[in-house]
Amino acid sequence: MTVDTHDHVLSEPERGRAFPGDFEKSPAGYSQDFECEKSLPGIDRPELGGALQALSGDILTKRSLEVSATSFITIMSIILGVALALLAEKTFPTPSLLVGSQAVCMLMIFIFSFYYHLSISITLRWAPSIVDCALPFVLFSLEIPPSYFLGDVSRWNSWIAVLFFSTAAGAGSTIIWSPISHFGGDRYGQKMLHRLFVELSVILVFGASLLVGVAVVAHLTRAGDLGWGLLSCAIIIAMLVTMVLRMEFRLARFYAYFGVNRPPFN
């Protein structure tokens, strides 16, 4: 039996299906589909630029919590990757005891920088602003220039000191930008974290001042670069070990206070 596609009326299960050649043979096919689409409820029709999730206060808070820390850590990782690549490029062509010691210190600084900011991004969150967007570029970019001065004690020390002073300023500003609302109104919890920031800032400022002193002496004496360089590396390693110990034990107590099991060096 032959079916005339011009007069054939689609049954309900067939509605919306196209037969081969329908549109070539019958202009009525276009109007039929158009009428079918108009009969769909409005919610089923696609909307250009339609939202996947309607905005509300809870949704805005959730998005800020998810995006702020993730974006910060991502940018930090990219810049640290560039700094690490540059460090390798400047270290291996001219290996020496001084250059190798300074390179090891810088690698330890990279590790501590990631560890510190990752830890803080877990404890504190807020809606990102232009300050939060600029901070990783300004602060982490300071870890790049020291690689250009490996083997030069005075200049290398100066750049590391600038990095430490800037990090201390960042830790101090975090105290200002972490009101009691971050801690659910718990003032003791706030004091615990602020005490850690103060301790880290003191260590950073003290160590940076020592590095500046060594840099000045090394520049004036113009001799004994290896000795002054190894002394500077010893100062940096002592600083990093002290700060890691303070953070591990302070954060363990902080987590335990809020009922989270996070022992030191977990």
Q: What is the pLDDT of residues 109-159, one digit of tens each?
A: 999 999 999 999 889 888 888 888 888 898 899 999 999 999 999 999 999
> Is residue 115 included in any domain, yes or no?
yes
Q: Bigger pLDDT: 14 or 89? A: 89
Across 70-96, average pLDDT? 91
Q: Bigger pLDDT: 176 or 10? A: 176
> Is residue 222 included in any domain, yes or no?
yes
Q: What average pLDDT is seen over the chain?
A: 84
pLDDT band at 33 (very low <50, low <70, confident <90, very high): low
Q: Can you give the residue range of the structural domain that contains 149?
A: 61-257
d(CA 92, CA 103): 10
pLDDT score recorded for residue 104: 96
Q: How far is CA 190 from CA 28, 164, 176, 196, 197, in A?
A: 73, 24, 11, 10, 11
pTM of the model: 0.78
> Is residue 17 included in any domain, yes or no?
no
> Is residue 30 included in any domain, yes or no?
no
Instruction: Quote the number of domains for the chain.
Output: 1
